[in-house]
Amino acid sequence: MEGWARDEFLRRYATSPIHVPRLERLLAVYGVEEHDDSFCLRFIAWDRACRDGEAARIVTEILSAGDRSGRIRRLSEDALRGAIRWMSESTWWSVPERARLLRDRLAPADDGAVAEFVGFLETAATAEDPQFRTAAESIARPLASEAGH
């Protein structure tokens, strides 16, 4: 039954038939060193452990779109779990605002800014709630103020 986890991943996270090729590109990036099923099983488990049923789907949409050049950046597994947590628990912003901040923080041409945000995501995966909230607010504040929020 090889491939069933990949099929489940595509079924869960593809918001339309047009979205399937983007997710396949994402899986090509994340399944380079292993079979897709292993990554898909871990990602689905992170989704199931999350408080928000839409957080993981939104993360796949953002990551599969790639950066400004269309390149999909490969994040560590901790950063992926942190991104799901960001979408689930940063509830002081609306869902569209959280998604915009996540997308904008992963897409700048400045690799230093991306590395700083990815570092936050990696620690966010396992941070205690108060530490997560403090770090999440401070890392996103500059972008939110630029947008007039």
- Is the per-residue pLDDT at 95 higher than 60? yes
Q: Residue 108: which pLDDT band, with cuts at 50, 70 and 90?
A: confident
Task: For the chain, give the number of residues.
Answer: 149
Return d(Cα 75, Cα 56) in angstroms, integer.
14
Name the domain count of the chain.
1
Read off the tokens for 17: 């038939």
Q: Which residue range(s) make up the domain with 54?
A: 4-146
pTM tops 0.85: yes
Tokens 């630029």, located at residue: 146
Beta-sheet strands, E only, within 15-122:
none
pLDDT the model gives residue 1: 43
Q: Residue 41: which pLDDT band, with cuts at 50, 70 and 90?
A: very high
Answer whether 139's CB lies under 8 Å from 131's CB.
no
